[in-house]
Every structure is written in C-alpha cells, then in structure tokens.
Amino acid sequence: MAVGSIRLPSLTSLAPLKRQCSYRSSGISLSVNGFYPFKRIVQACLQSSTANGDIGVQLPDDQSEIIFMGTGTSEGIPRVSCLTNPLKTCPVCSKATEPGNRNRRLNTSILIRYLNSSRKSNILIDVGKFFYHSALRWFPAYGIRTIDAVIITHSHADAIGGLDDLRDWTNNVQPNIPIYVAERDFEVMKKTHYYLVDTSVILPGAAVSELQFNIIPEEPLNVHGLKVTPIPVWHGRGYRSLGFRFGNICYISDVSEIPEETYPLLQYCDILILDALRPDRSSSTHFGLPRALEEVQKIQPKRTLFTGMMHLMDHEEVSDYLSKLKVSEGLDVQLSYDGLRVPVTL
Ligand SMILES: [Zn+2]
Ligand SMILES: [Zn+2]
C-alpha cells in the first residue's frame, strides 16, 4: 500500500505567494508573504485557536459517548523536526498544521462519558504528556467540567505524563481524582511523580494534584458504576499494558501482541479501538496497520477505529484505503481523529 509516500515539490520550484488572511474573531488582517508550505504553517499557527467548526458543539444529555482526546504517538503530530526540515518536508506534518486537519494528533487517550442515573461521569483513559493541550482543546468546546476517574493503561510518558496537570481540577473544580492503575505502573509513578504519591514531601501552601490511587488487578472493576474489564496485552517483549473493555467496547491503545488467553475478553465486541502505528509494518512495541487488520479479522468486531497513528499515516489516504475494505472484505474499519465523538450504549 502506497500510503505516506506523497512528496511535496521542492521549495525552490515554487513562486513566492502573497495572500491576505483575515481573522473573523479578532478583526485582525494581515499579509503573509512566503513560500509554500511555510505560508500554510504561519496561517495555521495564527488561526489554530479560532478556526474550527467543532467549537461550541454541545453534547446530548441522554447519551453515553466516547470522545477521542488524542489519537497520535508520543511525540505528537506534527513533529517539529518535520516542520523545520527545509529539504524533506513531511506532507502529513505540513497538513497537520492546518486548523481542524485530522492529521493533527496528540497523545492517545479517550474520555468515556457514561450516563449513570441521569448524571454523566467523565472517565478518562490515560493522561499523557499533552493532556493539558487536549483538555484545553476539547473540554471547553464540549462542555466538560469534571474528571471523575482516570484509568491508566501503562506507565509510559504519553500515558501518565499529564498527572501533574490534574491539579487544575483538584484545586478549582473538585476535591480529588481517583486514579486506577496496575501495581507495576504505580511503582513507576512512585518515582516519576513521587510528590503526587506521597504528598507529605510537599511544602505547606503548595497545591499539587490531589489523587487517590487505586491498584487494579487484572479482573473486572467498578469505576463510577461502570464495569471495566482490564484486557492484558504485550506492549513490547515482556512489557505489560492494559486495554479496557466497558460494555461491548474494547480499547487497546498500546499493543504488540495479544496473548491467546486474552482473546475471550474480546468476543462479541461492537466497537474495537485498536493501536495502528504506521501503514506498512509493525514496530517492536506497536501494531502496524497490516497486523491490526489481521487482528480485526480474528476478533470480528462490528466496527473498528484505529488510534495511536504516527506521521506516516495520512488521514485521507489511509481512510480511502480502509473504506475500500468495507466493499472488498466486509470490514467496517476507520481511523479515529482528535475530537471524534462516538455515541455508545453502556
Ligand atoms: Zn512528519
Ligand atoms: Zn507506551
């Protein structure tokens, strides 16, 4: 499959472009002189906080749903190094600078909005390095106020790097946040976030995140009334990561191998959210798209949404490819994207 192979023309072959940009919300107007694609980058950076059709959309009150807080790899997309490289400009990262472009991806994470006896609980899976930026983007836009629980898949930085930023909630919104984490990952947090685990080291007056740590076994647990079943998988040789099943939805964000004994947990799955790092092959720690598609055929979910994509995954190109699989293979498979909302029954 030839996804990720588009090359932009060299910068020297393009004439200077002059364009008038105007900003509806601020009333500012200015001229941008520059060479493609830098013109586009400058425009996107200036417009990024104002130009997106999703802003202001309100959530329905009587519907549980999943919101994709982030769908990208650890470093985020666009990569800074792709934007600063004048010779080998990356088409996906260039596109990702455009406001609202679906190639723009932050650390993989979802928010489950679970309707439980007329109140919605907000259950976050993972709180990575870019959590603040995801929350800034989607919490105000979708009217999300509280974080009722956080469930951790594993202890890499793109899954736990935002624990410190939860202080804004526990200082200003709610008294504390329960964190559900496997013992091995809690042991890591004792080192990486020692002052959040043992708050006795904090000087009086300092206000850090107030977190309640709950160690989870590899068996079903109750999170704010929602039954959540851990799905143990390998994320690189000998390194455990957890997926989670809630209702008939299975979320597996970081996986290189699914142990045989885990497959029974994936039966009768309506929506599978699955790791697919790159278009051509797997890495030692993540499924690539070919392997992810093999797993979809084995697991047989009704619908699949891929997540955790790196910059080689061009949203439009891969989506085109996947849409053809519906006709040829009968597979309902799509790429997720940051800000995607999926109504679910829980
Ligand atoms: Zn790139
Ligand atoms: Zn990881």
Which ligand does the CA of 239 lie closest to?
2
Q: Tell me what percent of the residues of the chain surpass a pLDDT of 70.
A: 83
Helix/strand/coil (H/E/C) assignment for every residue in 269-323: CCEEEEECCCCCCCCCCCCCHHHHHHHHHHHCCCEEEEECECCCCCHHHHHHHHH
Q: How far is the CA of 76 from the centre of ligand 1 (A)?
A: 10
pLDDT of res. 202: 86
In this structure, what are the phi and psi dihedrals at residue 140, rounded to the nearest 5 degrees?
-65, -40
For residue 35, what are the contacts with CB-CB under 8 A and spacing of at least 6? 11, 14, 16, 17
10 Å CB burial of residue 219 (0-12, 13-18, 19+) is exposed
Q: Tell me what percent of the residues of the chain surpass a pLDDT of 90.
A: 76
pLDDT of res. 205: 79
Which ligand does the CA of 129 lie closest to?
2
Average pLDDT, the chain: 86
Residue among 113, 107, 109, 116 at smallest CA distance from 142: 113
User: pLDDT tens, 45-65?
Assistant: 333 333 344 444 555 678 999
In whole angstroms, give the CA distance from residue 92 to residue 76: 12
Q: Give all domains of the chain, ordered by start, each with its CATH number.
A: 63-343 (3.60.15.10)
Q: How far is the CA of 322 from the centre of ligand 1 (A)?
A: 21
Q: How far is the CA of 308 from the centre of ligand 2 (A)?
A: 10
Q: How far is the CA of 134 from the centre of ligand 1 (A)?
A: 20
pLDDT of res. 37: 39
Residue 224 tokens, joined? 């704010």
Q: Is residue 267 within 8 Å of residue 229, measured between CB atoms?
A: no
What does the pLDDT average to over 62-76? 95
Quickly state the pLDDT bin for 87 (edges 50, 70, 90).
Answer: confident
Quickly state the pLDDT bin for 26 (edges 50, 70, 90).
Answer: very low
Residue 204 tokens, joined? 């009086």
Residue 332 tokens, joined? 């309902």
What does the pLDDT average to over 61-86? 94
**How many other CB atoms sit within 10 Å of the CB of residue 245?**
20
pLDDT of res. 60: 66
Which ligand does the CA of 95 lie closest to?
1
pLDDT of res. 45: 33
Quickly state the pLDDT bin for 14 (edges 50, 70, 90).
Answer: very low
Radius of gyration of the chain from its Cα atoms, rounded to whole angstroms: 21
- Prior bond of 91 cis (ω within 30°): no
